[in-house]
Structures are given as structure tokens and as C-alpha cells.
């Protein structure tokens, strides 16, 4: 059974991510947990009250969140009834990253799915603050879905990779399974000034090819240093409907995420973005 975590702030963007998730995994037997972490909400709105009033407000906030979660559950069951899917709702007094990491570790979860932005929906930003924190610090794959994105079934998936690091078999299998269900083509894109691969790169490429042997796949090599420009151009020219990248130590993606420059460098992501985490778990 696939274990999926869907954090929610009850916004329309969060609901759209839920629609995408249940469609993307409609063929899979899944346990889907809708998670609302409310510690930040409680702390930020109560700076000058007594401890007793603080505890009262915390309990009221939890009750309100649990009611919202029950309404969300009704919405999902009506919008996408699927006997393969079991649903759990959780309202927890914790910050979002800790709540997701604890649940992911406890349940050995496969993936976290959420909107790229929540209630604030700042359209000048690729990721809202909550999504960015999860992408940076959560130890299992994260799929970020743009607001109002409604192309539920991926057909052309872009996976830029330098072939420098061995990847986790479990996470590559996740990608393989998603693409296999919808007969999607995986485009593996290597961008470098040097077309010749080292022996390490050759071995990692061979491993990746073996893991994706049941998928439609194409290998591409583009000469140059500007990875962002190359990725943006490829997405547009090949009608890409999902971007996949790996977050690991000293990677291109880590440099972007940890310096908060994902928007400054122009990586404007308009399609679902799957981040595989090649980090300790």
C-alpha cells in the first residue's frame, strides 16, 4: 500500500493539490493522510494572553481544524470516490516540517503532495514559504502542484540529471510507477560543457536506465552551463507536464533551495514539480 501525506491549510490551492494527488494515484492502493499543523497559527496570534487563555485558544483551534478536516474528507469522497483509497485526518500542534517528518518516519511514507502556494498565493513566487520549507527539509519525496493546474495525467516528464550521484531505488521506482501508469515518457536531460561521461557517471546512468527499463524514456544531452535556461526551454518546447529533480548535498537544486534563489534565477515552474530526496532518512 502506498503511503501519501497531503498537508493542507484548507485553501483552494491545497484542494487543487488533493485533486491532482487522488487522480495521479487513482490506480494505486493508498493510505492518504490529510495533515494540518497549527502550532504557528496559535503562537503568532497570541502574544499577550495568559497561559490558561492560550491553552483554551489552542484547543479551540484544534477543534476548528478537525471540523475543517472532516469537511475536507467529505469533499474528497464526493469528488473522487475510490475504493482503493483509505483516508486519515490529523490536526497536530506542531510546526509543519516537524509534523510531516515525524509522520513520514512513523508511517514510512512514500511521498508528500501539496500546492506550490497556500492561502497567500503570491503569484510572483514559485513556492510559498511552507512549500519551500518542506522541499528543503523533509526527508521523503515532495510533489508541489501549481495552483489551478488541471492536467491530471502526466505524459511528458523531464528529469534533468548530471549522473553524479547514485539515486535511491525506492524513489526512482516511485517515478517509474507514476509514469508507467499513464504511459508517460521520461526525458533524462544531461546539461554540461562536456558530453563525455566519467566512469562514475556512466555507472549511475546505467543504474538509472535499468530502474526505468519498463518506461518510455529518452536520453538527451545539451551543451552549455546555463541549466535553468536549458530546462525552461526544454519544458516549453517539449510540452513537459512534470519536472523531476533530485535534492542532495552539493547539487544544483540544493544550491537553489538553500540560497532561496529559485525565483531570482528564473526557474519559473508552471508544472507539477517532483523533488526526490537523496538525503539521509
pLDDT at 130: 81
In order along its 281 residues, the chain shows pLDDT tens digits of 999 999 999 999 999 999 999 999 999 999 999 999 999 888 887 667 788 888 888 999 999 999 999 999 999 999 889 999 999 999 999 999 999 999 999 999 999 999 986 555 445 445 667 888 888 788 899 999 988 888 889 999 999 988 988 788 899 999 999 999 999 999 999 998 887 899 999 999 999 999 999 999 999 999 888 888 888 899 999 999 999 988 765 455 555 554 444 444 345 678 999 999 865 54
Q: Tell me, rounded to whole angstroms, the distance of Cα 171 from its chain centroid.
A: 12
Do the domains at 2-145 and 156-271 have one common CATH topology?
yes
Three-class DSSP category at 270: coil
Task: Fill in the DSSP letter of residue 250.
Answer: T
pLDDT at 252: 53
The Cα 219–Cα 238 span in angstroms is 13
253, three cell numbers: 537544486
pLDDT at 265: 38
pLDDT at 147: 83
**Whether the Cβ atoms of residue 190 and residue 225 lie closer than 8 Å to each other:** no
Q: Is the dihedral of CA 170, 154, 216, 231 positive or negative?
A: negative
pLDDT at 131: 80
pLDDT at 187: 97
Q: Which helix (H) or strand (E) holds 7?
A: strand 2-7
**Whether the Cβ atoms of residue 32 and residue 4 lie closer than 8 Å to each other:** yes
Instruction: Decide which of 3.60.150.10, 3.40.50.620, 3.60.21.10, 3.30.420.10 is the CATH code for 156-271.
Output: 3.40.50.620
Domain residue limits, the chain: 2-145, 156-271
Instruction: Decide which of 3.30.2320.20, 3.30.1130.10, 3.40.50.620, 3.30.559.10 is the CATH code for 2-145.
Output: 3.40.50.620
Amino acid at each position: 500500500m502506498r503511503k501519501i501525506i497531503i498537508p493542507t491549510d484548507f485553501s483552494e490551492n491545497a484542494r487543487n493539490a488533493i485533486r491532482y494527488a487522488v487522480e495521479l494515484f487513482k490506480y494505486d492502493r493508498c493510505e492518504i493522510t490529510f495533515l494540518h499543523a497549527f502550532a504557528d497559527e496559535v503562537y503568532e496570534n497570541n502574544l499577550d494572553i495568559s497561559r490558561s487563555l492560550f491553552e483554551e485558544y489552542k484547543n479551540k483551534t484544534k477543534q476548528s481544524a478537525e471540523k475543517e478536516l472532516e469537511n475536507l474528507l467529505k469533499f474528497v469522497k464526493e469528488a473522487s470516490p475510490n475504493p482503493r483509497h483509505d483516508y486519515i485526518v490529523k490536526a497536530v500542534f506542531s510546526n509543519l516540517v516537524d509534523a510531516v517528518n515525524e509522520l513520514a518516519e512513523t508511517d514510512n511514507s512514500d511521498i508528500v503532495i501539496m500546492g506550490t502556494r497556500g492561502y497567500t498565493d503570491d503569484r510572483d513566487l514559485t513556492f510559498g514559504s511552507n512549500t519551500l520549507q518542506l522541499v528543503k527539509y523533509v526527508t521523503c519525496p515532495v510533489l508541489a502542484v501549481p495552483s489551478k493546474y488541471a492536467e491530471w495525467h502526466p505524459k511528458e516528464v523531464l528529469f534533468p540529471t548530471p549522473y553524479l550521484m547514485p539515486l535511491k531505488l525506492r524513489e526512482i521506482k516511485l517515478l517509474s510507477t507514476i509514469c508507467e501508469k499513464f504511459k508517460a515518457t521520461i526525458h533524462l536531460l544531461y546539461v554540461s560543457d562536456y558530453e563525455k561521461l566519467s566512469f562514475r557517471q556512466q555507472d549511475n546512468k546505467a543504474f538509472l536506465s535499468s530502474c526505468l527499463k519498463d518506461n518510455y524514456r529518452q536520453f538527451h544531452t545539451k551543451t552549455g552551463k546555463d541549466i535553468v535556461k536549458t530546462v525552461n526551454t526544454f519544458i516549453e518546447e517539449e510540452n513537459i507536464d512534470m519536472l523531476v529533480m533530485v535534492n542532495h548535498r552539493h547539487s544544483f537544486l540544493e544550491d537553489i533551495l538553500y540560497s532561496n534563489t529559485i525565483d531570482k534565477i528564473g526557474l519559473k515552474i508552471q508544472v507539477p514539480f517532483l523533488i526526490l530526496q537523496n538525503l539521509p532518512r
